[in-house]
Amino acid sequence: MAETALAIITASMRLLGVKAAGEALDADELQDGLISLNDLLDEWSLQGYMQTAKVQLTQVLTPAQATYTFGVAGDNSTRPVRVTKAWVRDSSNNDYPLEIISNDIYNDILQKTLSTSYPVYLYLREAYPQTVANLYPVPDTAYTLYLESTGTIGAIATGATSIDLAPGYISAIKPILAVRMAPEYKIRDTFPLVQQSANERLAWIKRVNSNDRPKMNTGLPTFQGNSNYRELFP
């Protein structure tokens, strides 16, 4: 169920005992709460067990081009948080999965300009503000690249902003946010109970999301069906 940022921050303040039932926040309290709330949601975007959604990014490929940028002023304006799956799709809607490889494995490729019909591997250089996607071998056809990435929650601008998340998230945010704000208000009496509640709700979400944990291959690539690939990795 969706709630406004103001309602969430106010509930967190009540848990700490800073505000009584029905007591409104002043402008400074709301602004401080928004900063803490945005910091919390930003951190969750980096934690695999706390992901709230998945997003799918697409990029039309240019024949004989191996590298594409994702992010501000890039080939695609959206920077993925963490890519969990990747594939290319041809004009007949056939999908060809890509194996995501590590930096060390990509660096060991001798002929990075090798061209072929379909790419097999994807190396992501996760820089900021752009992530750079490198395809190998270099495709000679204008396929479409698909990246499945963990999603993020956009910045909460005002107290009136509505936050609509999966079941359990709003309930978890309130005590966790209270724990984050407690040092600012020098809260001691109510802190242990609030922290216990925060830990319990955090555990609930992690248990649910652990069934969909993304897997990343960091081992040596699996070479199949093309002797050229084997020659590159003697």
Taking the CB of residue 160, how many other CB atoms lie within 10 A of it?
A: 10
The whole-number pLDDT of residue 205 equals: 64
The whole-number pLDDT of residue 23 equals: 94
Q: What is the DSSP letter of 153?
A: P
- Paired sense of beta strands 83-89 and 144-150, if any: antiparallel
pLDDT tens per residue across span 36-90: 999 888 888 777 667 666 789 999 999 999 999 999 999 999 998 889 899 999 9
Average pLDDT, stretch 92-111? Answer: 95
Joined tokens for residue 228: 């050229």
* Longest CA span, the chain: 72
Phi-psi region of 15 (alpha: psi -120 to 50; beta: other; left: phi over 0): alpha
Report residue 180's pLDDT band, with 50, 70 and 90 as the boundaries: confident
Q: Does the CA dihedral 98-141-106-78 come out positive or negative? A: negative
For the chain, the structural domain boundaries read 3-50+164-212, 54-150
Joined tokens for residue 98: 């890509």
Buried-exposed string 85-122: b where 16+ CB fall within 10 A, e elsewhere: bbbbeeeeeeeeebebbbeebbeebeebeeeeeebbbb
Report residue 220's pLDDT band, with 50, 70 and 90 as the boundaries: very low
Joined tokens for residue 160: 């009136």
Helix (H, G, I), strand (E, B) or coil at 42: helix
Instruction: Name which of 89-98, 107-116, 160-169 the model is least confident about.
Output: 160-169
Instruction: Name which of 72-86, 96-110, 220-234 the model is least confident about.
Output: 220-234
**Is residue 193 over pLDDT 70?**
no
pTM for the whole thing? 0.66
